Structure 1
Amino acid sequence: MEPEIAALASSAGTTVVTLMATDAWQRVREGIASLWRRGHAERVEAVAAELDATREDLLAALAAGDQGVEGELQVEWQGRIRRLLAARPEVAEDLRTLLNEFDPLAGTAPSITQHATASNHARIYQAGRDQHISER
């Protein structure tokens, strides 16, 4: 598989699961189901049900304070989307369009650069996404 398709699937899985807990959820759900309709019409209802089940799992985990579940679900959907793109590469452009509705950078691989300088007894905490700090 082309690295570009793998990167797109990775971005899509992360974006889809992240948006499950937002007001944008119904639009995302419809968009993902539409991709399967084009690629595997016989699986649309099953995929829609899987999206709903994933959302329920995510919301329950977030309510319980279980931060690890979101990452697991993202990896799961990255794999599903990667397999769809491998079987039907023609849906990649529609996926990019869908992702761009919610995040103009989602269809690309943005470059992030962070710089920090600490002196004396200073501490620096940097994160490109989520950051969790706990005292030991």
Structure 2
Amino acid sequence: MDPELTTLAQSAGVTLVGLMATDAWERARDGVVALWQRARPERADAVAAELTHTRDDLAADSGVGEELAAEWQGRIRRLLTERPEVAADLRALLDELAPGERTVAPTVAQRATASGSARVYQAGRDQHITER
């Protein structure tokens, strides 16, 4: 398979699962189902049900996010293998859902050393500190 399509599938899996716990979820679900409707209409209803099950699994155990993203990566990769012409539609959907944020799962490594009465504050994302 084309490495670019593999990267696209990986990005789509991560983005899709990442959006399951956000306000953008319904838009993401509808977009993915519409993608399948255009490419493989006979599977669209099953994909809608699988998305619902995936979201339920994630809600029950947030620790399975990477596993679920990998599952969707595989599904999307297979779709792109069968119908490479939907890659443009998938890219457009990802750009709409998470503009500028399409990446492979980020890795954050932090190290800090403090001594005496020093303090270290680290965050992988936003951090708000109010000291009194």
Measured against the shorter chain, the TM-score band is 0.7 to 0.9
Q: Deviations over 1:22-79 (max 9, x none)?
A: 11111101100011111111000001000000001101113xxxx2x01100000001
In structure 2, the gaps of 5 or more residues are 126-132
Please give the TM-score of this superposition, normalised by the length of structure 1.
0.75
* Paired residue type of 2:34: S
Classify the secondary structure of the residue corresponding to 1:34: helix
Match of 1:7 in 2: 7
In structure 1, the gaps of 5 or more residues are 130-136
Please list every run of at least 4 consecutive aligned residues from structure 1 whose deviation after the TM superposition is greater than 4 angstroms: 106-109, 116-127
Contact persistence 1:11–1:106 (CA under 8 A): no
What CA distance in whole angstroms lies between the structure 1 residues aligned with 2:22 and 2:85?
A: 28
What CA distance in whole angstroms lies between the structure 1 residues aligned with 2:111 and 2:57?
A: 40
Name the Cα RMSD after superposition: 2.9
What CA distance in whole angstroms lies between the structure 2 residues aligned with 1:104 and 1:46?
A: 27
How many corresponding residue pairs?
Answer: 121
The percent of aligned pairs where both chains have the same amino acid is 55
- Which structure has the larger Rg? 2
Please give the TM-score of this superposition, normalised by the length of structure 2.
0.77
What CA distance in whole angstroms lies between the structure 1 residues aligned with 2:111 and 2:45?
A: 52
Q: 1:107 to 1:95 in 2, by over 3 A?
A: farther
Classify the secondary structure of the residue corresponding to 1:23: coil
* Paired residue type of 1:58: L
Are 1:85 and 2:80 an aligned pair? yes
